[in-house]
Chains A and B, each alone.
Chain A
Amino acid sequence: MEFKLQEIPVRAHEEFAMLRITDTVRDCVAHSGIRNGVVFVITEHTTTGITVNESLPCVEEDIMETLDRIAPEEHSYHHNHYLPSYGTIGGNAPGHLKSLLTGNHCVFPIAEGRVLLGSAADIYFCEYDGIKDRKYMIYMMGE
């Protein structure tokens, strides 16, 4: 059994964005030497998410707008207060909640050196608190 980890930097150029990372994950697996196993895609942050969905602009808009309705910017959140541990105002409660809804990772099988995904499925890194420099991990296990 082999274990391989890649850390991928990413910057969305918008405050809120869904970035398609399917090709990056596929390339990483293809170059890993692992033929059969699993791959985990995991974000390192608490105001971002990793998810799978169909890569249509209309679907992406519906996802982001639905998340906005569930966690609107203007709501009065417990997190909206001065945080002495940072010296800043906690202004990103919606990002934390959207991250909770999306989840921090996805898992896929690796078979014959390829990532197995449904025909309509794409992998996304979701930015809910941009613009920031972010990282996600691609962790591959197998042989």
Chain B
Amino acid sequence: MVIDTHIHPALFAPICTDANRFGQRCDEMNYHLMKPSDMGLLKEQYALADIGRVVLLPEDCSAETGTPAISNDEIAQLVAIDPAFYLGMAAVDPRRVDACAELERAFAELGLSGLKVNTARLKMYPSDERLRPLYALCRRYRKPILFHAGLCLENRALAKYAHPMEFEEIAQDYPDVNICLAHFGWPWVQETAALLIKYPNLYANTALVNFDGPYQLFEKVFRQDMGEDWLEHNLADKVMFGSGSPRIRPVRSKRGMDSLGLSPKVMDKIYRHNAIKFFGLEEAE
């Protein structure tokens, strides 16, 4: 069974009933010419990649846009459809006057499983003082943080705010909080790898969506940009599978990962075990 740690539910039908809101979300997140998908269809698509658990990511830049592109309530609504299958993260624009209260509500009332932060989209560095109260809440509630890291394909986002090295200070200051650098911090994958070997609380996911097809891309990132054995020998306990859907179909992302030919033991860690550890899930899952 595979855990996909990186899915943006922008096109999930139950939260696409308002056409204006759907259009606004797609414009903001840079998804076009795509229609909403019903939950049954999505689950059939996940099954193609043996995905048995999915982490849903929200998006909140509401201080700029007026409303979150994907709200915490919408994430909770989707999780409630199948709580054994979906795991929901929370997002809060730290510029909101009620930012801390909203994150507490997301954790305590909505039962969401961690915090997603996109500093590229917020245009603030991870060490920005406005974000630290949110990190402190994650520490208090024992919730992990998933940072967008590296290039962000969304409109109005700047990669300089999400360079992997910008997250080192947070990894150091919050050693008891699990932190994931999504997209492996691409294109700065060596910087991400360097941080992974130093900080026990730091993880990365494989949501690679940039050049070529998955076979070529995974070969380039994990065999050429990094040493051939870095995943197998050095980072096996620090990397989680994530697709980055809907920019890529999960089954295709998994084919790229499979094509690396890692040992079954390491594949099991990347596909499942590391995510169980990161999110504090039950081992039986």
Q: Which residues of A contact B (CB under 8 A)?
A: 11, 13-15, 73-74, 76-77, 80-82, 85-89, 91, 93, 131-133
The interface size bin for chain B is 20 to 34
Contact, CB under 8 Å: A131 / B44: yes
In the assembled complex, the CB of B156 is this many whole angstroms from the nearest CB of chain A, namely 14
Contacts of B101 in A (CB 8 A): none
A36 → chain B, closest Cβ, in Å? Answer: 39
What is the bound-complex CA distance between A87 and B155, given in angstroms? 10
Pairwise interchain contact B247-A89, C-beta atoms closer than 8 A: yes
Decide if B30 touches A91 in the complex (CB within 8 Å). Answer: no
Q: Which chain A positions have C-beta within 8 A of B48? A: 14-15, 131
Q: Are B41 and A11 in contact (CB under 8 A)?
A: yes
Does the CB pair B41–A87 fall under 8 Å?
no
With A and B bound together, what is the CA distance between A118 and B96 in angstroms? 69
State whether A133 touches B41 (Cβ < 8 A): yes
Majority DSSP secondary structure for residues of B touching A: loop
Across the interface, do A82 and B259 meet the contact criterion of CB distance under 8 Å?
no
B38: chain A residues at CB < 8 Å are 133
When chains A and B are docked, how far (Å) is the Cα of A93 from the Cα of B255? 15
Check B248–A73 contact: CB distance below 8 A: no
Q: Is B41 touching A86 in the complex (CB atoms < 8 A)?
A: no
B209 within 8 A of A: yes
Q: A68 to B268: give the CA distance in the assembly, Å.
A: 28
Q: 11 A-B contacts, Cβ less than 8 Å apart?
A: A11-B41, A14-B48, A15-B251, A74-B255, A80-B213, A82-B210, A89-B213, A89-B247, A91-B248, A93-B213, A131-B45
Shortest distance in angstroms between B254's beta carbon and chain A's nearest beta carbon?
12
Bound: A133/B11 CA distance, A: 14
Taking a contact as CB atoms under 8 Å apart, the answer to whether B247 and A87 are in contact is yes
| Residue B249 is within 8 A (CB to CB) of chain A in the complex | yes
Find residues 186-226 in chain B having any chain A CB closer than 8 Å to their own CB: 209-216
Not counting A82-B210, A88-B247, a sample of 12 additional A-B residue pairs whose C-beta atoms are within 8 angstroms of each other reads A76-B213, A76-B215, A76-B216, A80-B213, A82-B209, A85-B32, A85-B33, A87-B30, A87-B32, A87-B153, A88-B209, A131-B45
Q: Give the complex CA separation of A135 and B34 in angstroms.
A: 16
User: With the chains together, A13 CA to B45 CA distance in Å?
Assistant: 9
Residues in B whose Cβ lies below 8 Å from that of A93: 213
Q: In the complex, what residues of A have CB within 8 A of residue B213's CB?
A: 74, 76-77, 80, 89, 91, 93
What CA separation (Å) do A91 and B253 show in the bound complex? Answer: 10
CA gap between A132 and B11 in the complex, in Å: 14
Return the chain A residue nearest B212 by Cβ: A80
Q: Is A89 touching B41 in the complex (CB atoms < 8 A)?
A: no
Contacts of A131 in B (CB 8 A): 41, 44-45, 48
Most B-side CB within 10 Å, residue of A11, A76, A86, A133: A86
Q: B139 an interface residue at 8 Å Cβ cutoff?
A: no
Whether A74 contacts B215 in the complex (CB less than 8 A), given A86-B31, A89-B209, A91-B248, comes out as yes
B residues 15-51 near A (Cβ < 8 Å) are 29-34, 38, 41, 44-45, 48
**Is B142 an interface position by the 8 A CB rule?**
no
Q: Is B246 in contact with chain A by the CB < 8 A criterion?
A: yes
Residue of A13, A81, A85 touching B211 (CB-CB under 8 A): A81
CB distance from B202 to the nearest CB of A (A): 27
Q: Which of A11, A14, A91 is most buried by chain B, counting CB atoms within 10 A of its CB?
A: A91
Q: How far is the CA of A51 from the CA of B278 in the complex (A)?
A: 49
Pairs A-B, 8 closest by C-beta atoms:
A80-B213, A87-B30, A74-B215, A87-B31, A131-B44, A91-B252, A88-B247, A89-B248
Across the interface, do B248 and A86 meet the contact criterion of CB distance under 8 Å?
no
Closest residue of chain A to B42 (Cβ to Cβ) is A131
Considering the chains assembled together, what is the distance between the CA atoms of A86 and B208 in angstroms?
17
| Per-position 1/0 for B253-281, Cβ under 8 A of A | 00100010000000000000000000000
Q: Which residues of A contact B251 (CB under 8 A)?
A: 15
Please indicate the chain A residues that have their CB under 8 angstroms from the CB of B211 in the complex.
Answer: 81-82
